[in-house]
Amino acid sequence: MSVPFLILAAITIAAAVAAMTLRKLVHCALALAVCLVGLAGLYLDLGAEFVGLAQVLVYVGAVVILIVFAILLTRSDEHQSHGSSRILSGVAVSACVFGVLAWAVVTSGTKESPNAMLPQGAMKQIGVALMQRYVLPLEIVGLLLTAALIGAVVIAMEEKQNTK
Amino acid sequence: MLGEGIIKGLVETARNFFGSYTSKQRLTTVQFPDERLIQPEATRVFPFLVFDTDDAEKGLRCVACKICEVECPPQCISIVKSADKKPDYSGIYAGKPQFYPSKFDIDVSVCMSCQICVEVCPFDAIKMDTAFELSTDDRFGGLLWDKQRLARSNEYYRSIHPTEAAEVDAQLAAKKAKAEAKPASAAPSGDTTAR
Amino acid sequence: MTPAVDQIFVNIKHWAVFHSPAAMRPAVSVLLSIVPILAVFPGLFAVTTVLERKGLARMQNRYGPNRVGPFGFLQPLADGLKSLTKEDIVPTGADRLTHFLAPLLLVMTAFLEYAVIPIGRNMTVANLDAGVVLFFAASAAMELSIFMAGWSSRNKYSMLGAMRAVAQMISYEAPLILSSIAVVMTAGSLSTVTIVEKQAGYWGVWPYHWYVFTPWGLAGFILFMICATAESNRSPFDLPEGESEIIAGYFTEYSGFKFALFFLGEYLGMFAISGLAITLFLGGWAAPLSFLTFIPSWIWFFAKLLALIAVFIWVRGTLPRLRMDQLMNFAWKFMLPMTLVVILSAGIWRFLPQGVARWLICAVPIAILYILLGRSLMGGRKLEKRTYRFAE
């Protein structure tokens, strides 16, 4: 529990809470960006350079921008409705999710692996692992992304034809 | 080929860049007011009234015929004809006294420098000046010029438009010669009353 | 003698750290690494603004600013004073916090990019194992700040400008990263220091190992520079901030110092990406000819940086602005396939033996795709001199 870890964890949690409670939707998206940067900081604190930087590159640089664009292009300045009847079910669902995740983390056994990789070799190990041991998931993810891209293009094209 | 136009454009701008240090053609800026361009002779800015001798009142060529006031498109000239007549100092009118403008105002903020007043004046009394640095901070009368401000001597006219002034002088001299010749050939009755 | 001059800043830093009390050593070391960056690059920004104005002016047959100081070189001082003393106007309906944070975030991420650029021998602020990824992560965060600027101004033109800017920057990020992947593949490392080291060495007089002298490196360098121009929102890709199109785009509602910060952030981004281009393709701080190595490495880095800035200014003065759809077409239909072929060519390069044949074989796929794309994307329109038909 070192000082950098505490600070980063505090930033991440505060940003996550802000992302849930702020009124304007774009503010929530920006708070989400801060939360993801906090997570990237946690990865860097653990010495996983590539993962931390890729987290910023992919999440903040692409996912948050996607979310923000989606908000902008689909909503106008509306106030979100705070239905008080939904709080109870929300708490129940999030407690279940938290329980599942906590059980998964606690029983995964990552605490006891002493042979953490040296930073010098980590990049190469990741590359080798992706190309040798995990090549099937890599290709499947690539296929999935290609399908999503083609799907987006097809939907946009159809809309253009519809409006013409 | 794709990219050919871009390369040509880059070469041209590079030539401009390096040429601007060597040739005047590629750096056409004139740093006013340290350097000035030579104005062509036919430059026209705002009108002025010509007077012949040293005296702005006596030598003024304008006889208040009001043609320029009528022809001016934005109607920026305002003339009041005099009640009396002044004697003929120039000799063009064979000694007959002529009217003169008691008030001749040009609103220079309205004037559009079209030179129509110059073209229609039968007496070569109003010509175009070339001075353009005329800024004033007097917003209520600074650009409404009266007769005194507008009158400039023929010497000045000759200095700014030499060829035109030479032609005008020749024409006026011919008119004067004709006017002098006429009373000599007419009956020597000395009758100077207007018909 | 020359290694001493070359390492003069490193030695000064070591001396200062050594002579400071032990408790303060980390802080002193960090400060001494960062403060020169914070001092030098904004100074370079000031000089670049006046050089750009004068350079553009000369290309357009006129003088640039030449009244303030000798030949106008104190103009940045006048500009700085002006931007500091102008009133800071925030629109009434604007989102004050985001409006305030956007220029800060821009400048912060722009400075972050300098952490991994080797400015001289042993002169990198942070020798990260994944330095190139940090650079691209920081430039991705820059896009977010531009979006924040446009959205917080509550002005539909700013919003439009911001969306266009973000769309443009995202589109050009793909070819940017892909063209740097070819270099990373060949160098075998994501660390900028390692990439520069792999390009060291001379073959006679010639710096043989610079990646720009390979066919995929040359094509990659040109593609990288085009994407860098687009990422920095510079002409001919400056539609988001085009003055005649959309007033000032996403920074319409900014005045005074915040505007100056935006300007600073954009130029810093331009310098950083030029620095990365120098690191990846032009051999970093290495001297171009082997007998010129007596000149210190950091001088070579800045010389190459100034040359690339001159190229940016040259291109700005030459090309007209691209329209949004032309911009996007160019990115997705031309740049992306070209970068994929560059990666392919770099891969082939690795497995062929050295020699002229390798150069020619690797140049072939790039040349073929270039010609094919050129033909097909022009759409059969021949660019000829325009003829006019006048009314009789």
Residue of C nearest to B5 (CA): C383
Structure tokens at B145: 């010029």
Contact of C377 with chain B, judged by CB distance below 8 Å, is answered with yes
Those residues whose C-beta lies under 8 Å from the C-beta of residue B153, and which sit 6 or more positions away, are B50, B51, B52, B54, B56, B59
Give me the interface pTM, i.e. the ipTM: 0.85
Q: Is A54 on the interface with C (CB under 8 A)?
A: yes
Put simply, the answer to whether B2 touches C62 (Cβ < 8 Å) is no
Cβ contact C197:C178 at 8 Å:
no
Going by pLDDT thresholds of 50, 70 and 90, the confidence category of residue B156 is: very high
What is the predicted pLDDT for the residue at A6? 95
Chain A residue with CA closest to C188: the answer is A124
**Looking at chain C, which residue has its C-alpha nearest residue A55?**
C137
Edge-to-edge strand list for the sheet holding B126-128:
B126-128, B47-51, B151-153
Give strand pairing partners of B60.
Answer: B51
Kindly determine whether residue A27 and residue C189, on different chains, have CB atoms separated by under 8 Å: no
DSSP-assigned letter for residue C283: -
| A57:C140 CB<8 A | yes
C169 to chain A: closest CA residue: A61
Is the CB of residue C342 less than 8 Å from the CB of residue C220? yes
- What is the tens place of the pLDDT at every residue in C225-238? 999 999 988 878 88
Mutant choice from C51, C52, C58 vs B, greatest count of B C-beta within 10 A: C58
Task: Round to whole Å and give the CA distance between C217 and C63.
Answer: 37
**Does the distance separating the beta carbons of A30 and C141 come in below 8 Å?**
no
**Measured between beta carbons, which residues in chain B are less than 8 angstroms from residue C54?**
none
Residue-averaged pLDDT of chain B = 87
Contacts of C95 in chain A (CB under 8 A): 24, 27
Distance from CA of B112 to the nearest CA of C (A): 29
* Whether B and A touch (3+ CB pairs < 8 Å), yes or no: no
Cβ atoms of residues B61 and B123 within 8 Å: yes
The answer to whether residues C269 and C139 touch, using CB atoms and an 8 Å cutoff, is: yes
What pLDDT was estimated at residue B195?
Answer: 46
H or E, element range at B190 = none
* A60 near C CB under 8 A: yes
pLDDT tens figures, C53-72: 999 999 999 888 988 888 88
Which residues in chain B are contacts of C314 at CB distance < 8 A?
A: 10, 13-14, 17
User: How high is the pLDDT of residue C375?
Assistant: 85
Chain C residue set in contact with A, beta carbons under 8 Å: 95, 98, 128-130, 133-134, 136-141, 143-144, 147-148, 151, 159, 163, 166, 170, 173, 189-190
C71 touches chain B (CB under 8 A): no
Using the predicted structure, report yes or no on whether residue A12 has a pLDDT greater than 90. Answer: yes
pLDDT tens across A138-164, in order?
Answer: 999 999 999 999 998 888 887 666 665
A24 touches chain C (CB under 8 A): yes
Does C50 have pLDDT greater than 50?
yes
Cis amide bond preceding C337, omega within 30? no
Q: Do B29 and C55 touch (CB under 8 A)?
A: no
Nearest Cα to C35, choosing from C27, C23, C24?
Answer: C27
User: What local confidence, expressed as pLDDT, does residue C369 receive?
Assistant: 92
Cα C138 to Cα C125: distance, rounded to the nearest angstrom = 15
Task: Band the pLDDT of B187: cuts 50, 70, 90.
Answer: very low
Phi, psi (rounded to 5 degrees) for C253: -90, 10
Judging contacts by C-beta atoms under 8 Å, the chain B residues touching residue C59 are: 13-14, 16-17, 20
Taking the Cβ of residue A123 and every Cβ of chain C, the question of whether any pair is shorter than 8 Å is answered with: yes
Distance from CA of C190 to the nearest CA of A (A): 8
Mean pLDDT is lowest, of B7-16, B78-87, C29-38, C248-257, for C248-257
Residues 60 through 119 of chain B touching chain C, CB cutoff 8 Å: none
Q: Count CB-CB contacts under 10 A for residue B195.
A: 3
Minimum CA–CA partner of C163 in chain A: A69
Q: What is the DSSP string of C315-358?
A: HHHHPPPPPHHHHHHIIIIIIHHHHHHHHHHHHHHHHSPSSHHH
Query: Quick one: pLDDT band at residue C326, thresholds 50, 70, 90?
Result: confident
Q: Cβ of A145 under 8 Å from any chain C Cβ? A: no
Distance from CA of B146 to the nearest CA of C (A): 39
- Look at residue C137 in the predicted model and tell me its pLDDT: 93
Q: List the single residue in C with minimal CA-CA distance to A34.
A: C141
In total, the C-beta contacts within 8 angstroms joining chain A to chain C are 67
* Cβ separation B10–C315 shorter than 8 A: yes
- Mean pLDDT for all residues in chain C: 88
- Within chain B, how many helices (H) and strands (E) appear? 6, 6
User: Is the omega angle on the peptide bond into residue B33 within 30 degrees of 0, that is, cis?
Assistant: yes
Cα C123 to Cα C7: distance, rounded to the nearest angstrom: 8
Cβ of B21 under 8 Å from any chain C Cβ?
yes
> Can you say whether the dihedral through the CA atoms of B180, B182, B187, B189 is positive or negative?
negative
CA distance B143 to B107: 6
Comparing CB atoms, the residue among B3, B5, B17 nearest residue C59 is B17
- Please tell me which of the candidates A24, A37, A50 has its beta carbon nearest to residue C133: A50
Which chain C residue shows the shortest CA-CA distance from B21? C58
Distance between C134 CA and the closest CA of chain A, angstroms: 6
Q: Is the pLDDT of residue C193 over 70?
A: yes
C-alpha separations of C218 from A123, C135, C182 in Å: 27, 21, 11
Note the helical H segments in A22-85: 25-45, 49-55, 64-74
* Tokens 């990824």, located at residue: C133
At residue C77 the predicted structure's pLDDT band, cuts being 50, 70 and 90, is very high
**CB within 8 Å of A73: residues ≥ 6 apart:** none
β-strand B47-51 against B101-107: which pairing, if any? unpaired
Query: CB–CB of C319 and B14 under 8 A?
Result: no
Using the Cβ of A117 and the Cβ atoms of chain C, whether some distance falls under 8 Å is answered with no
CB of B86 closer than 8 Å to CB of B95: no
Mind listing the pLDDT tens digit for each residue in C121-177? 888 998 888 899 999 999 998 988 888 888 887 777 778 888 888 889 999 999 999
Task: Report the candidate in C285, C275, C279 with the shortest Cα–Cα distance to residue C120.
Answer: C285
Residue in B1, B9, B31 closest to C374 by CB = B1
